[in-house]
Structure 1
Amino acid sequence: MTSETFTTQPTEEQIRRAPKVLLHDHLDGGLRPATVVDLARDAGYDRLPETEPEALGRWFREAADSGSLERYLETFAHTVAVMQSREALVRVAAECAEDLAADGVVYAEVRYAPEQHLEAGLTLEEVVEAVNEGFREGELRAAAAGHRIRVAALLTAMRHAARALEIAELANRYRDSGVAGFDIAGAEAGHPPTRHLDAFEYLKRENNHFTIHAGESFGLPSIWQALQWCGADRLGHGVRIVDDVTIADDGTVELGRLAAYVRDKRVPLEMCPTSNLQTGAATSYAEHPIGLLRTLHYRVTVNTDNRLMSGTSMTREFAHLVEAFGYTLDDMQWFTVNAMKSAFIPFDERLAMINDVIKPGYAELKSAWLFRQTAADHSLTSDPAAYQG
């Protein structure tokens, strides 16, 4: 079925049931509020701004909704503080996998910075192994609940620190044990990715994958450096690429050299609409660059960034885009296949996910919708089971 023939916007329940792929999600930005409260109590951490889960969740969303990336990043002090033990890391990772699976995510790459979880004496290796253990446990729990998911880790280095090469080497050591690649994160202004060229050169020599936060709060130079100096496989956010796109009064679109390069090379853009609104990278869902970039056929993907701080999920992200741009299940499938094509797992595994999970999942949703419509048109029962056998 083509997008020309399937023009109905999906309901929120259809969006939730649709198979989704997530490439940009931070482990320390996706905790359940109740878990933060529990872990703070266990760790003796008494600096939470709220101690009741609902109120705490609301505080995180309001504190992050500042229009400033720097202020947004400050909220992570609380989540990182309660993720300093092996038990806490296993729990958070397992719950992450469960929550994503319950939301219809079938493949996820979840990133975190091992260097931020050493305050209670864990080693970098112990951090990685605890998170991997949690992801595997969460996958099993999800399967027991009837949800299929595969979760891979991305190891992140903080761009204001000086451990990027060490974390890149760590990612390479665990590349066959649950770690799919590398990332750098943190405030862009004043911390260009070129500070960490040794890490990126190392990863390229090892034929390993990496993405770089670029073009979120900082503009085209950040994107250019990430691609041309560092050789990033993907761009974290990348929303500011529209600064190199000109739309004339008659609607004619002209791409600058960098914008054309990103499209021509099919560089994946890990876009996070709600987060971008919170940090001031976009002013509304309807005006988010994702609409234009999808029309121009960039390799755009939809992501959550930080589910706790943004009060979001993949279902909510897509629901906002459906409302803003009138997207259909065909559009959702296009974004999802884009994401799966861009994942950091081997090609044959990506292809199997697309052909065996994603495409059949969307085909089933579309068929069920058509059946209900036909049944309604003919005053028949809308329960397909009534016609079996």
Structure 2
Amino acid sequence: MSAQVVTPLFDISYDVGWIAALPKVCLHDHLDGAVRPETLIELAADIGHELPASDPASLERWFVESADSRSLERYLETFEHTVAVMQTASALTRVAKEYVLDAAADGIVYGEVRWAPEQHVRAGLDLDSVIEAVARGILLGEEAAADRGSTITVRQILCAMRQNNRSLDIAEAAVRHRDRGIVGFDLAGPEKGFPPTAHRDALDYCARHFLPVTLHAGEADGVASIREAVVDGRCLRLGHGVRILEDLTRRDRDADLADNVSRLPSSRDISLVPASSLYEMGEVASWVRDRRIVLEVCPCSNVQTDAAPRVGEVGTAQGTEDSPNHWARTYREHPVELLRGLEFAVTINPDNRLMSRTSMTHEFLKLAEEFGYEREDFFEITMTAANATFLPLKEQDEIVDRVVAGYSDSPVVG
């Protein structure tokens, strides 16, 4: 399988080769956040849309710098440019095809890419037309990847925007186009002020038609938002979900040990100081962990948007969103290792490749560099993702087999 080396957000000295070769399962990746800069420039020129930069390198830099704002709202503003050029069937097909090829080059053997059809009807297309265009691009991408020697399967999750009133339309379209590779439904956009209860009809429709649901929650809002996603949304997975850690209270007698959790070099070392002995867990966190509701964690994106609590602040009186030290500002401060130590069902994902200048390989690379992750760690994370896909069981088993076979074939470190 070919490997694409993606320009990292940080200086990296860790060997990328064996990580790039690992088979990966990606559950949280936005189509409109993964447009190639070169494609964006060409499509913008076709429709006369003005971009903030005219060459690929400068444009990519603009996206990363703009998205690195410590604000989800500012982060989301960057999508105006990508969405603007994705308003024709040909553009949607091209972007979808290129997405699949880039995912295959990233080592992904199975991916669920999400996007919001309602954002792509400005030029006169209807929901059915935009869904068919993306489905066509995905199929072309899978075929082109196969011609290049890569086996990849990509399915779609359709998003409805929380701030709009088209969620029932999107849910109905998702069910209507299941035969075009749609496997799930999501609510995206601003969390605060737009609860799942405002989209009850859509969520009820998904439940009646047994369409799996994953909801963005615990990214731009806290534990109450996660509770709503689980109770009112009946979600099987949480998009991000990292603020579930705000439902923890640190045991004072173990404060010194808790401070050291973020400095443990690997996931195996965290077992030497069991995280469960350091924290009291609230009912929402307990439910999410015990029911194995999967967290679609996106570390690079979380660091950009102040979405993840800094691991050293988790469970403390200072650990509130109003505290200046509350948010993880570096990959090292991200609580992904603590979440795994607490036995949450953690998966790793890019979220938006363009805005965060990342990929599955880059996220894995940072985990190796910052926390000493090795093959068994990546295998565990990938198997969690493989068993959390929205595929029917038989197809899910095929993805699991593909991951196992890929690990057997991939080179051993050293």
Q: TM-score, normalised by structure 2?
A: 0.85
Matched, 1:54 2:54: no
| TM-fit CA distance, 1:96 | 0.1
Matched, 1:364 2:409: yes
| Cα distance in 2 for residues equivalent to 1:193 and 1:289 | 26
Alignment deviations for residues 329-357 of structure 1 (CA, whole Å, 9 cap, x no partner)? 110011111111111111111112112x1
Q: Which runs of 4+ in 1 moved over 4 A?
A: none
Matched, 1:26 2:30: yes
User: Which of 171, 174, 181 is matched with 1:171 structurally?
Assistant: 174
| Cα distance in 2 for residues equivalent to 1:40 and 1:296 | 46
Partner in structure 2 of residue 256 of structure 1: 282
| TM-fit CA distance, 1:10 | 8.1
Q: State the Cα RMSD in Å.
A: 1.3
Which consecutive residues of structure 2, in runs of 5 or more, have no partner in the other structure? 1-12, 258-277, 309-327
Contact 1:239–1:281 under 8 Å retained in 2: yes
Alignment deviations for residues 147-172 of structure 1 (CA, whole Å, 9 cap, x no partner)? 11100011110000000011000000
Partner in structure 2 of residue 339 of structure 1: 385
Partner in structure 2 of residue 145 of structure 1: 148
| TM-fit CA distance, 1:363 | 2.4
Partner in structure 2 of residue 76 of structure 1: 79
Partner in structure 2 of residue 16 of structure 1: 20
| Cα distance in 2 for residues equivalent to 1:118 and 1:24 | 23
User: Which of 124, 138, 141 is matched with 1:135 structurally?
Assistant: 138
| Cα distance in 2 for residues equivalent to 1:140 and 1:244 | 45
Contact 2:157–2:184 under 8 Å retained in 1: yes
| Cα distance in 2 for residues equivalent to 1:54 and 1:10 | 24
Percentage of matched positions with identical amino acids: 51
| Cα distance in 1 for residues equivalent to 2:178 and 2:153 | 15
User: Which of 183, 187, 206 is matched with 1:203 structurally?
Assistant: 206
Matched, 1:124 2:127: yes
Superposition pairs of residues 187-198 of structure 1, within 5 angstroms: 187-198=190-201
Matched, 1:184 2:210: no
User: Which of 282, 289, 298 is matched with 2:335 structurally?
Assistant: 289
Q: Which amino acid aligns with 1:277?
A: V
Contact 2:14–2:369 under 8 Å retained in 1: no
| TM-fit CA distance, 1:257 | 1.0
Alignment deviations for residues 283-330 of structure 1 (CA, whole Å, 9 cap, x no partner)? 121221211111122111000100000000000011111112111111
Q: Which amino acid aligns with 1:369?
A: V
Which consecutive residues of structure 1, in runs of 5 or more, have no partner in the other structure? 1-8, 374-389
| Cα distance in 2 for residues equivalent to 1:258 and 1:203 | 23
Q: TM-score, normalised by structure 1?
A: 0.90
Q: Which amino acid aligns with 1:114?
A: P
| Cα distance in 1 for residues equivalent to 2:233 and 2:306 | 26
Q: Which amino acid aligns with 1:351?
A: D
| Cα distance in 1 for residues equivalent to 2:14 and 2:21 | 10
Contact 2:70–2:306 under 8 Å retained in 1: yes
Q: How many residues align?
A: 359
Contact 1:10–1:328 under 8 Å retained in 2: no
Matched, 1:271 2:291: no
Q: Which amino acid aligns with 2:174?
A: A
Alignment deviations for residues 61-114 of structure 1 (CA, whole Å, 9 cap, x no partner)? 000000000000000000000000011000000000000000100000001111
